[in-house]
Amino acid sequence: MIAPVFCCEYNGVDQIVLTSKYGRTKCAAAKTIASMIAAFIVTLTVTLANFLLAFVLYGNDGLTCSVLWTPMPMTEGYIPFNITCKMLLAYQILLAFTGTISVAGITLLFSAISKNLMAATVAAAAAYFLPIILPVSETAPLFRYVGLLPIYHAQFTSLMSIEQLSNSVLYALWTVPAAFIFSGIGSLVSCKIFAKHQVI
C-alpha cells in the first residue's frame, strides 16, 4: 500500500509536484504523514478484530489467566514468563503497531530510492524477511538486537521470550524506540531524497 507513494511519481508526475510551490517541502511531508496514518488505520482495524476475537474466545476471566496455563498453540515455542493473557494481548497489539510503523518507514525509504513500484516492493519485502534467514539463534546474545527488527514484531513469541526486565515488563518493550528509529529515519530520509530529486 505504501510502496507507490514516491516511486510512482517518478514517471512524470514529479515534474508537476516538485515544481509547485510546496512540492519539495510540504508535499513530501504530507505523503509521509498520509502513509503513516493509512498504515495505522489498517493496523487498528486488524488489532480491534484480534481483541474482540480474544475476548469472545477467553472472556474476561480467561484473559486474567496466566499464559503458562493456557492451551494456546504457539508454533515457535512458548513465553516462559508468568504474564496474563490480557498482558499478552496488550503486547501483541503494541507489537502490531511498532511493526507497522517500522515497516512503513522502511517502505517509504525504498519507495523514494526506487524508480519503479516493483523494485520498491521487492526491496522492502526483502528487507523485512531477511532477518529470518540470518543464522542467529534465539538464544544468542546477538538476537537481542536482531529481535528488534520488524519481522520479529509479528513473530511475537520469539521476541517476548528474550527477557523479563521487571514484574510483567518484557524485553519486547524495546520495540517502541526501535520503531521510532525505523519510522523516523525512513520518513525523514525519504522526504529528503524525494525533495532533492532533479526534474527535467
Q: What are phi and psi of 169, to 5 degrees?
A: -100, 115
Instruction: Please give the pLDDT value at position 69.
Output: 65
Number of domains in the chain: 1
pLDDT in tens, the chain (200 residues): 888 887 777 676 656 665 666 666 677 888 889 999 999 999 999 999 988 888 888 787 777 777 776 655 544 456 777 788 888 888 889 999 999 999 999 999 998 888 888 998 999 999 999 988 888 887 788 888 988 999 988 887 777 778 877 777 888 889 999 999 999 999 899 888 877 766 55
User: What is 105-118 written as a DSSP string?
Assistant: HHHHHHHHH-SSHH
Instruction: Please give the pLDDT value at position 70.
Output: 60
Instruction: Please give the pLDDT value at position 72.
Output: 54
Contact 90, 98 (CB under 8 A): no
Q: If 0-12 CB within 10 Å is exposed, 13-18 middle and 19+ buried, where does residue 11 land?
A: exposed
Determine the distance from the C-alpha atom of residue 87 to the mean position of all C-alpha atoms in its chain, rounded to a whole number: 20
Instruction: Please give the pLDDT value at position 75.
Output: 41
92's CB contacts (< 8 A; 6+ apart) are 47, 50, 156
Cell numbers found for residue 138:
534465539
Domain of 112 in residue numbering reads as 4-196
Read off the amino acid at residue 37: I
Contact 169, 81 (CB under 8 A): no
State the Cα–Cα distance between residues 137 and 2, nearest whole angstrom.
32
Q: How far apart are the first and last CA of the chain?
A: 28
Instruction: Please give the pLDDT value at position 14.
Output: 56
* Length of the chain, in residues: 200
Strands 164-166 and 169-170 turn out to be antiparallel
Helix (H) or strand (E) holding 164: strand 164-166
Instruction: Please give the pLDDT value at position 6.
Output: 76
